[in-house]
Amino acid sequence: MPAALIRGKDIAVTIQEELAAEVRHLQTMGIVPGLVTILVGDDPASQSYVRAKNKTAHALGIHSEQRSRPAATTEEELLALIAEYNSNSAIHGILVQLPLPRHIDESKVLAAIDPAKDVDGFHPVNVGKMLLGEPCFLPCTPHGIIELLQRSGVETSGAEVVVVGRSNIVGKPVANLLIQKRAGGNATVTLCHTRTRDMAFHTKRADILIVAAGVPQMIKADMVKEGAVVIDVGVNRIGESESGKAILVGDVDFAGVVEKAKAITPVPGGVGPMTITMLMHNTVQSAKTAHNIMA
């Protein structure tokens, strides 16, 4: 029997409805969560991500501002813009769209964001707190993956989880969240990367396989255990349809793996919609924290 689909798009809609209700409640207290997205340069993919973030924020009743700066913007100018929003009490979340032009030091920029407004969860303070299991902003894609698993009834406790990819934005943090001693964690985690000797040996042992490598359809059916849960984070453009729409595939060979797995996320419509949703979640949380509103 083909795998059940873990429809991130539907789960994201549910979470967004919960958030919109929370925003309406905050508005009755005169509180409007505020998000600023900062884009440097004119990369079309980044432009579309930023547009989508602002559109979602707007739909949920979150005040959102978009600041676009030319590719030639200096590091000092960008740091000054961040400083402006660090001290703007109407803004609870600051998101700098990555990647940045090469002449700007990404780590310096991320570290300049007030950790209390770091809704992307990339500031070293938040990364450290996440590692320690302390309350903090969790990075959006890894957090979205944990939410997908939990809301789909997939038990992580005691599960063998294999993560393919060790980036700072997906692989490392999701592995870290999965080992935390709490709900959505307690897994036994193996992290694979380009130096892993025999990847199929590991992936075939996985009860839950999470793939974030950026290599189109690299995970074939013979690399997956019968009955596994497969989370495909990859988003790869492999061409354009006749109407000019990008053709997207994941890092998993969906057609083959769907016949073997118990559950699988589609691409698109799987992890992607969760990433934006968790950004909205973090922005609402930040507004609540700023106004001393618990949980």
Residue among 6 and 169 whose Cβ is closer to ligand NAP: 169
CB of 221 to ligand NAP, least distance (A): 17
Which is catalytic among the residues 117, 118, 120, 260?
A: 120
Tokens of 133: 């299991």
3-state SS assignment for residue 283? helix
- Report, in Å, the least distance between residue 238 CB and ligand NAP: 11
Phi, psi of 258 (to 5 degrees): -60, -25
**Which positions lie near ligand NAP, rule CB under 6 A?**
141, 164-167, 169-171, 192-196, 199, 212-215, 218, 233-236, 271-272, 275
For residue 273, whether the previous peptide bond is cis, meaning omega lies within 30 degrees of 0, is no
* Least distance to ligand NAP, CB of residue 209, Å: 13
- Let me know: does 203 contact 219? Beta carbons within 8 Å: yes
Task: Look up 97 and say whether it is catalytic.
Answer: yes
Tell me whether residue 182 or residue 197 sits nearer to ligand NAP (CB atom). 197
Decide whether 109 or 212 has the Cβ nearer to ligand NAP: 212
Looking at beta carbons only, is 76 or 198 nearer to ligand NAP? 198
120 given a catalytic annotation: yes
* CA separation for the pair 146, 143 (Å, rounded): 5
- Min. distance of Cβ 124 from ligand NAP in angstroms? 18
Strand partners, 162: 190, 209
Task: Considering the candidates 97, 232, 251, 253, report the single residue annotated as catalytic.
Answer: 97
What's the closest the beta carbon of residue 122 comes to ligand NAP, in angstroms?
12
Runs of H (alpha helix) within 87-238: 106-112, 124-132, 140-151, 171-179, 199-203
For ligand NAP, which is the closer residue by CB, 207 or 232?
A: 232
CA distances from 214 to 101, 107, 195, 209, 232 (A): 21, 22, 16, 15, 10
Length of the chain: 295
Catalytic center residues? 53, 97, 120
